[in-house]
């Protein structure tokens, strides 16, 4: 055996080891890709029901918000009605009470001067 043949055998052996190493790496990468694909598939299967539940929850929340808006509008109308009622009550009783107070004050002053 000459030096060139020995170098060729070493080169061929090194090349074979490199191919084996690359093969092992490719097998590991293939397993990783398969596991990732299974994980993504499982995630998609579990995500769909969660999104459906979230959609239902948002729909129900919107219904409740519409109810609260209606209640708020009703309270606003009741407040306006009470305010109007108080204004009418004040106007209807305020003027006669002011006149009565004026008369009472006049009587008190008149009686106060006589003493």
> Distance (Å, rounded) from C-alpha 31 to C-alpha 24?
11
pLDDT of residue 115: 58
Q: What digits encode the pLDDT tens for the residues 82-107?
A: 999 988 888 787 777 777 888 888 88
- % of the chain at pLDDT higher than 70: 97
Give the tens place of pLDDT for each residue, 29-38: 999 999 999 9
Q: Using one digit for the tens of pLDDT, what is the confidence trace for 3-15?
A: 888 988 999 999 9
Dihedral Cα 99, 104, 106, 108, nearest 10 deg: -170
Alpha carbons 115 and 112: distance in angstroms, whole number: 6
Q: What number is the average pLDDT over the span 37-60?
A: 93
pTM of the predicted model, to two decimals?
0.46
């Amino acid at each position: 055996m000459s030096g060139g043949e020995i170098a060729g055998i070493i080169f061929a052996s090194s090349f074979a080891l490199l191919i084996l190493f690359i093969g092992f790496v490719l097998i590991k990468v293939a397993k990783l890709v398969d596991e990732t694909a299974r994980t993504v598939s499982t995630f998609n299967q579990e995500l769909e029901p969660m999104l459906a539940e979230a959609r239902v929850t948002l729909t129900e929340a919107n219904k409740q918000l519409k109810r609260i808006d209606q209640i708020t509008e009703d309270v606003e109308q009741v407040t306006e009605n009470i305010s109007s009622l108080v204004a009418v009550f004040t106007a209807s009783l305020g003027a006669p009470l002011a006149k009565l107070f004026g008369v009472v004050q006049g009587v008190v002053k008149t009686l106060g001067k006589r003493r």
